Amino acid sequence: MSEPATQPAERVHFGACNLCEAICGLEFKVRGNEILQIKGDAADPLSRGHICPKAVALKDIYEDPDRLRKPMQRIGDQWQEIEWDAAFDWVATKLAEAHLRDPDSVAAYLGNPSVHNYGVMTTSGQMLSPIRTRNRYSATSVDQLPHQLMAYWMYGHQLLVPISDIDRTQYFLVLGANPMASNGSLMTVPDFRHRLKALHARGGKMVVIDPRRSETAEVADAHHFIRPGTDAAFLLGLLKVMLDENLLKPGRLAGFTDGLDEALDAIRPFELAVLAAHCGIAAEHIQTIARDFAAADGAACYGRMGVSVQAYGSLSQWLIQLINIATGNLDREGGMLFTEPALDLIQGAAASKPGSFGKIRTRVRGLPEFGGELPVVALAEEIETPGAGQVRALVTIAGNPVLSTPNGRKLDAALASLDFMVSVDIYLNETTRHAHVILPPTCALEHEHYDLIFHHFAVHNTARLSAPLFDKAEGTMHDWEIFQAVGKRLAEKLGQPARPMPRPQQIVDMGLQASPRKLSVKTLQSHPHGMDLGALKPTLPERLVHASKRINAAPEAIFAELARFAATLNEAAPTSQQLKLIGRRHVRSNNSWMHNSHRLVKGNARHQLLMHPDDVASRGLADGSTVRVRSRVGEIRVEVQASAEMMPGVVSLPHGWGHNRTGTRLGIAEAHPGASNNDLTDELFLDVLSGNAALNGVPVEVLAA
Ligand code: SF4
């Protein structure tokens, strides 16, 4: 008689979610290789048991039959699996050939998931360094470049971004952010809903400024519509009221801040009535917000994606800093504070480069680099425009810029013209379909993780190292193993000396030990739920990275930008047929790459064009009908949904959709394609100062299909 088959025992595993910035602690119940349950880890000192619907999609990604596990080579429009060594040899040969013709002919693009993945953060340079190209791009320049530029200019380091002290503030002013859906961005704030309840329970207030009555606006004490792209006018209005009514009190900050008077003097000539008319928020509302903000016992002004991805995004981020400084709310409890993470990339021996600006410029349009990267709005033209330095080969890592960067169709066509492209990616998506080789790394549950970046932006100081839930499958490779294998071969072919190639864990361990808190991988391993490193606290002026240990409230370039913005206040109003396009975020979606999870796309479609009912009616459109949306760069067809949550004159389409291109392998996403809002956004429309894409405020027309 044969023995009855024994089932593997159930086990419980703790780890952090790395899908978004919130770094929620998770508790997995597993049997063998089967995930039985995913729930929030109640003992995590940052997320305290919070979880969002995306976390359970980690199971879908792990099990996804469309996820690539072996290298793929494209021959014509056919794909075939190849062995790792053959793939590495071919990639290294092609990149070396391109490099020898012209190092700048090789470009690299890192997508958003890269920053959530410690393998990419610590070791992608081991593959990219031998290339020595100036053509480096990433998702940074379609997202938060204005934040980093202001942090670098004002505080001395691109990661020294002040964080809202949400757990103690009495007045939370939110512009262009939707933390109810996102759980924070450049403000890691898992469980925003309960933190907001606590804010209300202690008598605090939240005011939201947004062209859409978002999920966050819905639970705010007050919400004001604002015309897309005019946040600078609203912020100038606040400062103007505070100046006129003598409400500014920088307090101890005045002792180590340069240029504050100069900055405020430049704002004094603006007229509140003109600013109010420009942004669409009545002067009396601006006055009330300014007075309440200045009077609060701890106030935080926070502007995120909607502010950064607009023309004058950098100017707006500067004004936000100025409001927090001039009211004495920077570096105080209940205001804006700086974090002190366990692995500190800002100060100490583990510090990264503080930043750089304009050291080089793009070849075709002359856009400035920041931190060694060029703005991605220039990538397509750098591929298409002949001449020395023309991009002819491309490396993409965890990115889908065809769907996530402006004028995706132009980039799509440009990618098809490349001599060689290699993608390190788990999916055959709208971008990687152009690759000649795809090198797929293991997925998040198969490798260790420490979040190198988002602990710098968290509302509470914590640290957490996540052990892998599963061993990697036979014949698969981690991203760092891929980077090392290609990097080693590339250096050999180029005759470059062999470099040490430490593993991610070694690099993290060195970084932890070299940081002021002197922790280590071993210490973190003994705290599977993470370590509580305490509430944020005032750290200035010591934490400033400028050698002077002083805040620079008046970066030189900002004054020309302010003058340029002032000139727009006299521009003619747009025609009544012209609408402004904005994006939006949904809790069940994360950029372009999670639409192949059946759990996340099930239910009602969420990628319609939202439009105010009056705008729908005045165009003779029917709610639920298919419409044409047209911008300078293209036209899409999409279902329109009449919604009073929209400001009249504004339409909203979430980004990351548009899974209707041929040649991808995303069965579920292809069945829920939506339309790409980046087929409407414009690579020529940008925040001129930083080079960041302006994805909000794009002029569009909406017509019957
Ligand atoms: S909010 Fe959701 S996706 Fe983000 S880290 Fe938490 S569980 Fe993961």
Q: Report the alpha-carbon distance of residue 272 to residue 282 in Å, rounded.
A: 10
299 and 391 fall within a common domain: no
pLDDT tier at 586, thresholds 50, 70, 90: confident
**pLDDT in the model for residue 592:** 84
Whether 497 and 359 map to the same domain: the answer is yes
Let me know if residue 540 belongs to a domain: no
Q: 436 C-alpha to center of ligand 1: Å?
A: 33
Q: For the residues 340-353, what does the mean pLDDT come to?
A: 97
Residues 446-479: tens digit of each pLDDT? 999 999 999 999 999 999 999 999 999 999 999 9
Domain closes at, from 486, 501, 516: 501
- Most distant pair of Cα atoms in the chain: their distance: 94
pLDDT single digits (tens) 669-695: 999 999 999 999 999 999 999 999 999
Is residue 480, in this structure, part of any structural domain at all?
yes
Relative to the CA of 18, which ligand 1 atom is closest?
5
Q: Which candidate, 603, 562, 571, places its Cα nearest to that of 586?
A: 603
Please give the distance, rounded to the nearest whole angstrom, from the Cα atom of residue 454 to the centre of ligand 1.
12
Last residue within a domain, chosen from 312, 337, 362: 337
- Inform me whether the pLDDT recorded for 206 exceeds 70: yes
CA distance 115 to 485: 21
Residue 409 is encoded by which pair of tokens? 């169709």
Rounded to the nearest whole angstrom, what is the distance from the C-alpha of residue 445 to the centroid of ligand 1? 14
In 3D, which of 135, 326, 153, 358 has the Cα closest to residue 243?
Answer: 326
Report how far ligand 1's centroid is from the alpha carbon of 24 (Å).
5
Query: How confident is the prediction for the chain on average, in pLDDT?
Result: 96
Q: How far is the CA of 285 from the centre of ligand 1 (A)?
A: 35
Same domain, 495 and 601: no
Q: Which of 337, 355, 376 is the endpoint of a domain?
A: 337
Locate the ligand 1 atom nearest the alpha carbon of residue 182 and give its number. 1
Atom number, ligand 1, closest to the C-alpha of residue 26: 7
Are 352 and 485 in a shared domain?
A: yes
Atom of ligand 1 nearest to the CA of 22: 5
For 129, 130, 482, 491, the CA distances from 499, given in Å and listed in that order, are 10, 10, 16, 9
- Interatomic CA distance for residues 448 and 14, integer angstroms: 12
Ligand 1 midpoint to CA 75 (Å): 38
Ligand 1 contacts (CB < 6 A) are 17, 19-20, 22-24, 51-52, 54-55, 183, 190
Residue with CA at minimum distance from ligand 1 atom 6: 24
CATH classification at residue 58 = 2.20.25.90
Question: CATH code at 327?
Answer: 3.40.228.10
Which residue type is seen at 394? L
How far CA 587 is from CA of 29, 141, 178, 631, 663, in Å, comes to 23, 23, 10, 27, 28
| Same domain (yes/no): 319, 256 | yes
Based on the fold, state whether residues 357 and 485 are members of the same structural domain: yes
Query: Does residue 1 surpass a pLDDT of 70?
Result: no
In tens, the pLDDT along 508-517 reads 999 999 999 9
- Percent of the chain whose predicted confidence (pLDDT) is above 70: 99
Residue 520 lies in a domain: no
Nearest to 54 by CA among 17, 12, 16, 25: 17
* One-letter amino acid of 541: P
Q: Do 124 and 202 lie in a common domain?
A: no
Give the separation between CA 114 and CA 15, rounded to whole angstroms: 18
Q: What is the pLDDT of residues 51-65, one digit of tens each?
A: 999 999 999 999 999
Please check whether residue 308 is in contact with residue 231, taking contact to mean a CB–CB distance below 8 angstroms.
Answer: no
Q: How confident is the model at residue 129 (pLDDT cuts 50, 70, 90)?
A: very high
Using alpha carbons, list the distances in angstroms from residue 509 to 18, 115, 348, 520: 19, 18, 14, 5
- What is the predicted pLDDT for the residue at 591? 84
Q: What's the distance, Cα to Cα, between the start and end of the chain in Å? A: 70
Mean pLDDT on 632-655: 97
pLDDT tens digits along 136-186: 999 999 999 999 999 999 999 999 999 999 999 999 999 999 999 999 999
Q: Is the pLDDT of residue 524 over 70?
A: yes
Could you tell me the pLDDT band of residue 621, with boundaries at 50, 70 and 90?
very high
Tokens of 298: 């701890």
Residue 491: domain span: 72-143+347-501
* Ligand 1 center from residue 45 Cα (angstroms): 15
| Residue 48 in tokens | 């305290």
H or E segment and range at residue 650:
strand 650-652
Q: Which residue from 309, 284, 279 is spatially nearest to 209, judged by alpha carbons?
A: 279
CA gap 410, 406 in Å, rounded: 9
> 450 pairs with which residues across the strands?
465
Q: Residue 485: CB partners within 8 Å, gap ≥ 6?
A: 84, 88, 477
- What whole-number distance in Å separates Cα of residue 105 and Cα of residue 417? 13
CB burial of 415-442 (b: ≥16 within 10 Å; e: otherwise) equals: beebebbbbbbbbbbbbbbbbbbbbbbb
Of all protein residues, the one whose alpha carbon is nearest to atom 4 of ligand 1 is 20
- How many separate helices (H) and strands (E) can be counted in the chain? 23, 32
Q: Which residue has the tokens 């400001």?
A: 647
Mean of pLDDT values over 556-583: 89
**Degrees to nearest 5, angle at CA 124 with 120 and 128:** 155
Paired sense of beta strands 368-370 and 357-361, if any: antiparallel
The rounded distance, in Å, linking the Cα atoms of 243 and 264 is: 8
Residue 519 is assigned to a structural domain of this protein: no
Q: Is 666 found in the same domain as 579?
A: yes
Burial group, residue 701, by CB count within 10 angstroms (0-12, 13-18, 19+): middle
Please report whether residue 150 resides in a domain. no
Predicted confidence (pLDDT) at residue 2 exceeds the cutoff of 80: no
To which residue do tokens 């620079």 refer?
552
CATH number at residue 615: 2.40.40.20
Instruction: Give the closest residue (by CA) to ligand 1 atom 2.
Output: 52
- pLDDT tens across 365-419, in order? 999 999 999 999 999 999 999 999 999 999 999 999 999 999 999 999 999 999 9
pLDDT of 3 higher than 70: no
| pLDDT at residue 577, as a whole number | 73
CA distance 263 to 447: 48
Once rounded to an integer, what is the mean pLDDT over residues 80-100? 98
> Is residue 363's pLDDT more than 80?
yes
Atom of ligand 1 nearest to the CA of 590: 3
Which atom, in ligand 1's list, is nearest to the CA of 53? Answer: 2
Which of 14, 20, 47 to mutate for ligand 1's pocket (most ligand atoms within 8 Å of CB)?
A: 20
pLDDT of residue 572: 67
DSSP states of 609-642? EEE-HHHHHHTT--TT-EEEEE-SS-EEEEEEEE
Do residues 581 and 616 both lie within one domain? yes
Cα(324)–Cα(322) distance, integer angstroms: 5
**Is 227 a domain residue?**
yes
- The bridge status of strand 205-209 relative to strand 171-175 is parallel
SS3 205: strand
Question: Are 408 and 374 within one domain?
Answer: yes
Does 381 share its domain with 422?
Answer: yes
Ligand 1 center to 17 CA (angstroms): 6
59-89 residue pLDDT tens: 999 999 999 999 999 999 999 999 999 999 9
Would you tell me how many other CB atoms lie within 10 Å of the CB of residue 13? 17
Q: Residue 235's closest CA among 562, 634, 455?
A: 562
The total of structural domains in the chain comes to 4
Q: Span 651-664, mean pLDDT?
A: 96
Q: Of 225, 204, 205, 371, give the one whose Cα is nearest residue 285.
A: 225
Give the integer Cα–Cα distance in Å for 79 and 436.
Answer: 9
Residue 648 lies in a domain: yes
Q: Give residue 575's pLDDT.
A: 65
What's the pLDDT band for 588 if we cut at 50, 70, 90?
confident
689 shares a domain with 649: yes
Would you say residue 524 lies in a domain? no
Assign 593 to helix, strand or coil: coil
Give the whole-number percent of the chain exceeding pLDDT 90: 95
Best CA proximity match to 649, nearest among 280, 312, 237, 306: 280
